[in-house]
């Protein structure tokens, strides 16, 4: 299946993942570890091990610096 990903700060792109993929697979397709980001669907985070059931997600990176 194809998922449109809006990676905050880096623009939008489309990734292809298997039909039974979880959100962690989407994140890995982007080149990130699930530890580094949160995946938002309609403004709420979804568990990384949940099966993908949205065709549009927003991915926000965690940043640490202060």
Partner 1 sequence: MSDLSLDATQLDRYSRHIILDDVGPEGQKRLLEGSALVVGAGGLGAPVIQYLAAAGVGRLGIVDDDVVERSNLQRQVIHRDADVGRPKAESAEEFVADLNPDIEVEAMERRIAPEEARNLVADYDVVVDCTDNFPTRYMLNDACQIEGVPLCHGAIYKFEGQITTLSPDGPCYRCLFPEAPEPGTVPDCATTGVLGVLPGTVGCLQATEAVKVLLGLGETLTGRLLFYDARELSFETVPYQRNPDCPVCGDDGIDDLAGVDYDGGCGVASD
Binding site for partner 1 (CB under 8 A): 8-9, 33, 35-36, 38, 40, 42-45, 58, 60-66
3-state secondary structure of 36: helix
Of 20 and 44, which has the nearer Cβ to partner 1? Answer: 44
Beta-sheet pairing, 2-7 with 56-61: parallel
From the CB of 55, what's the least distance to partner 1, in Å?
19
Of 16 and 33, which has the nearer Cβ to partner 1? Answer: 33
HSE, side-chain direction, 13 A CA sphere, residue 52:
24
């Amino acid at each position: 299946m194809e998922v449109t990903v809006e990676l905050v700060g880096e623009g939008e792109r489309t990734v292809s993942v298997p039909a039974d993929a979880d959100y962690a697979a989407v994140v890995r397709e982007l080149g990130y570890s699930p530890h580094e980001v949160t995946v938002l669907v309609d403004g709420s985070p979804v568990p990384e091990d949940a099966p993908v059931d949205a065709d549009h997600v927003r991915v926000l990176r965690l940043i640490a610096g202060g």
